[in-house]
Copies of this chain bind each other. A is one copy, B any other.
Amino acid sequence: MRRFVKKTSYKAGFPPGTLVHIGEKKTETVRISYLDYDYSNIHENVVDSIEECFPLKDTHTVSWINIDGIHRVDIIEKIGKQFDIHPLVLEDILHTNQRPKIEDFGNYMYIVLKMIYSNENNEINSEQISLIMGENFVISFQEIEGDTFEPVRKRIRSEKSRIRKMGPDYLTYALIDSIVDNYFIILEKIEDKLDLIEDEVVSSPTPDVLRNIHSLKWEMTYLRKSVWPLREVINSMTRTESNLIQESTRIYLRDLYDHTIQVIDTVETFRDILSGMLDVYLSSINNKMSEVMKFLTIIATIFIPLTFIAGVYGMNFEYMPELEWKWGYHLILSLMFLTVLTMVVYFKKKKWF
């Protein structure tokens, strides 16, 4: 079973705001990169120490700092100091069991999301993405280096793209959009699994199929837990009165909101389909079993009366006239054959075969 609580409880006892990384350490090194751009210029770099990014804070360009790997508490702490981030936010970045949420701190917004990906065993897994959006910067924290944000980077690099004309709110939107797009890819994979199970459920309803259905059901529960609050996050971004979100970006957020609703709709539909499959599975199992039992019982039922007849003429009474008849044996054999025939016809008529 997937563990739901383990990692969370380690925190118990620490005072709130204590910066300790809680969760699996998914990468060894920490990779810090930035992308600084406005309509006409773009600077891109991978840096060794976070301090190199600090000058970006005071430029008027949009600065996107991306941190892959969150286990280095000192880096998070330095960013916190430099960009004046609340200690609880830093704590939330480090604890990888957050529920998706958005928090408005006036001069910056903090957004936590879950990126869903399927690991090498084809199981669904999630990575926590934290975004801090300020007036002229976005800082993103990923647990491991991934290529989810690559399309966004490409668009920034292309000179005429819309993203270059707009602010950090649009960048944030683009990042979240790329995460939501990922959900569709996962859903497609799940749909493939559903297709597979659907066939098996009728053709070979083994206990494995049941286990698969249940593991998919749990994956849906898992997905639901990430995507329902995500919807709330995007909804409150759309409706926020904060001036960090430009009017022109809101329509894109609304579009994003529609996509999230689609994800939720699909998740709920899949859950429905899974329950349906469970019904079909149980019914198939039952059906198969019934067939076997029926066949076997019919065999038994046909032979038991025959055995009885044989038993009668196996009795040792001295006076059993039939025994001495010349054709007695053949007569009895014929009688038996007739009995079988009658029963088979009767069963056929009753459609028990």
Contacts and interface: CB of A to CB of B under 8 A. Distances in A.
A88 B262 contact: no
Nearest to A105: B251
Interface stretch (A49-57, A115-123, A282-290): A282-290
Contacts of A306: 308, 311
A251 B328 CA distance: 93
A308 B272 CA distance: 52
Interface stretch (A26-34, A76-84, A137-145, A176-184): A176-184
19 contacts: A1-B273, A4-B269, A4-B270, A8-B187, A14-B151, A88-B255, A91-B255, A207-B283, A214-B276, A278-B279, A282-B283, A283-B285, A299-B304, A303-B304, A303-B307, A303-B308, A311-B311, A317-B329, A317-B332
Interface of A: 1, 3-6, 8-9, 11-17, 86, 88, 91-92, 97-99, 101, 103, 151, 155, 161-163, 174, 177-178, 181-182, 184-185, 187-188, 191, 194-195, 198, 202, 207, 210-211, 214, 217-218, 221, 225, 251-252, 254-256, 258, 261-262, 265-266, 269-270, 272-273, 276, 278-280, 282-287, 289-290, 292-294, 296-301, 303-308, 310-320, 322-329, 332-333, 350, 352
